[in-house]
Structure 1
Amino acid sequence: MVATTPVDQLGPGDHACLTFTDPEERLDILAAFVAAGQARNEKIICFTDAVGVDELRADLVGRGLDAGRELSVVRSDRLWGGGSGPDASTMVELLARELADAERNGHQGLRITADMCWAARPQANAEQLLVFESDVGRLFAAGRLTAICEYDRDSFDPVTLGYASRVHPRTVAATVYHEDPVLRICRQHIPPGVRVAGELDYTGADALSDALAEAVRLDRDVHLNLNHLRFIDAGAAAVILQTAANLPEQRRMIVVCGEPIERTLTVAGAADVPALRMLVRNGER
């Protein structure tokens, strides 16, 4: 089994596989990957299929990324040059040309993200996916190309997902502090902090406390994303408020949530914690 690598530890020449079920987690990992490429002055291309070009670009900009010339967001069918369908040789040749173009224009390398959902469509030739993932490996040898291939677990069968994992030298995923059928707590990269989804009660309070403690250690301000949290009880709310109250002066906790979660935090005493700021969907408190 290929070991999971944190996305911020991917380096030039790495070819990684991202399998996901949570679109927001996917976006977070892609944003961190793109930000690292911008910091390195790399040419960046995001090939998108399931998400529209304008939507993905807006999502990345919304995460604080620069949408300058070094960042291109294009449809996945650009990979095969407008031909009648996906062709592995054409895709590899296109990436080789893009890599050469990046070098000619003074970039440190080429960084790409590739949404592989095109291969799950009925008209796609699944064999071309397997050939592409095998043949593209030679482009990474010089350490100038870095890539993440994205596989939505809801779109691919277990055999294809298993093959994708085997042919990629690395896999990337969020750091997960807790996961069970009703609750997931994981690291968020951009903005840096913690993301919680599902239902959070006192049984998850210790895991939440550990996740927030790491965010306090790593990040100046703590961003707590509760957008996909459906329920929180008083015990878990107290963990959030206590962590915010104990932040050093000049540091803040920014909580993003829906109105039901905001009401619970307010009842628990959020207004009495100066370091806590709540951003509520469709409004701000």
Structure 2
Amino acid sequence: MADAVTVDELHPGDHACLTFTDPDERLDLVAEFVADGLHRGQRVICFTDSLSPDELAAELAMREVAAVAAIGSGQLTLYASHDAPAVEGGATAERMVALIAAERHRAARRGVPGLRVAADMCWAGRPMAVDQLLTFERQAASLFTDGRLTAICQYDRETFDAVTLAFAADAHHKTIAALAYHDTPLLRICRQHRPAGVRIAGEMDYTHLEPLGQALTEALRLDDNIHLNLTKLRFIDVTAATAIVQSALALPAPRRMTVSCPPPVAAVLEAVGAGQATQMSLQRQP
């Protein structure tokens, strides 16, 4: 059974599986994976399917990854799954594995300290392509033996059935997930990597003060400045909003808390004193 780890716990040679339902959370984890590889001087390749390469580059840049510069230098390459040079004629297991093997060999020959691959597996979710999945994962496994390759294969739970997702999890050494402080159908509070802070989605009230406090305390410990991503928070009550504002007020200068949220959430935060918290910046998102 695969070990469950956070994205910053990956090591060279790891072959990891990321199953997701929230595209924004997936992009946060992929951005951290890419940024860490660039920081280490590794060659980084992203196969993208649900987004175009230009759209993925914009998403990475929005998450504070120096994607444009890395693409320009050749350190980072973004391929649409069906447009990669070695998969001309359409993505198949053999073609994808051949491309990764060639890039791994090229990186080693040039003295690059490793290759990182982030693969959006939606190409294998199309009709007549699911049978390629077993072949891809089995053939790709042989590329990790010398520790020069690290990869995350991403599976959208809305694209793949439960049997396929179970196979995907079993075919990888590790599974990746965001660090979650609270995870129920009503509310999810988790660590956000880029920009660093906390991401909260759903509906939050006074009954969630404990996981909220835990998440904010962790962010205060780890991050100089905190980004609180509330863009998918549908409801917040006065008690929870007050806890957020008080956390911002407790920040010593020059540390700051940036809160991205929809207008109704911003209105509640302002009603409990966000406007008086000079350490807090509200960014209203539609």
TM range, smaller chain: over 0.9
- CA–CA distance in 1 between the matches of 2:76 and 2:270? 40
What is the distance in 2 between the residues matched to 1:253 and 1:194?
11
1:24 corresponds in structure 2 to: 24
Say if 1:177 and 1:186, in contact at 8 Å, map to a contact too. Answer: yes
**Aligned counterpart, 1:259:** 263
Give the TM-score, by structure 1 length: 0.95
CA contact (8 A) 2:87 2:95 kept: no
CA contact under 8 A between 1:19 and 1:150: conserved in structure 2? yes
> 2:44·2:76 contact (CA, 8 Å) conserved in 1?
yes
Q: What pairs with 1:175-254 in structure 2 (closer than 5 Å)? A: 175-254=179-258
Counterpart selection for 1:120 from 96, 112, 125: 125
- The 5 Å alignment of 1:122-137 reads 122-124=127-129, 126-137=130-141
- Structure 1 residues 247-272: Cα deviation after superposition (integer angstroms, max 9, x where no partner): 12211111111111111101111011
Determine the structure 1 residue equivalent to 2:10: 10
Report the Cα distance in structure 2 between the residues aligned to 1:117 and 1:88, rounded to whole angstroms. 13
2:144 partner amino acid: F
CA displacement at 1:164 relative to structure 2: 0.4
Between the aligned partners of 1:104 and 1:259, the Cα distance in structure 2 is 53
**Residue-by-residue CA offset, 1:6-47 (whole Å, 9 max, x unaligned):** 101111111100000000100000000001101110111110
1:36 aligns with 2:41: no
Indicate the SS of the match to 1:77.
Answer: coil
Matched, 1:72 2:77: yes
Instruction: Indicate how the Cα distance of structure 1 residues 131 and 77 shifts in structure 2: closer, same or farther if over 3 A, else same.
Output: same
Cα distance between partner residues in 1 of 2:195 and 2:187: 21
Distance 1:71 1:52 in 2: 15
Partner of 1:281: 285
Equivalent position of 1:102 in the other structure? 107
Residue 88 of structure 1 corresponds to 93
Post-superposition CA distance 1:116-153 (Å, at most 9, x none): 111111142x2221011011111111111110000000
Q: Distance in 2 between matches of 1:138 and 1:262?
A: 51
CA–CA distance in 2 between the matches of 1:51 and 1:102?
26
d(CA) in 2 for partners of 1:269 and 1:53? 42
Query: Shift in Å at residue 78 of structure 1?
Result: 4.2
Alpha-carbon separation, structure 2, partners of 1:59 and 1:25: 12
The aligned counterpart of 1:49 is 49
Offset at residue 169 of structure 1 (A):
0.2
- Counterpart amino acid of 1:19? T
Unaligned runs of 5+ in 2: none
SS of the residue corresponding to residue 196 of structure 1 reads strand
Contact 1:80/1:86 (8 A) holds in 2: no
8 Å CA contact retained: 2:87, 2:99: no
The residue type paired with residue 36 of structure 1 is: D
- The alignment yields a C-alpha RMSD, in angstroms, of 1.4
CA distance in 2, matches of 1:8, 1:208: 22
Report the AA paired with residue 30 of structure 2: L
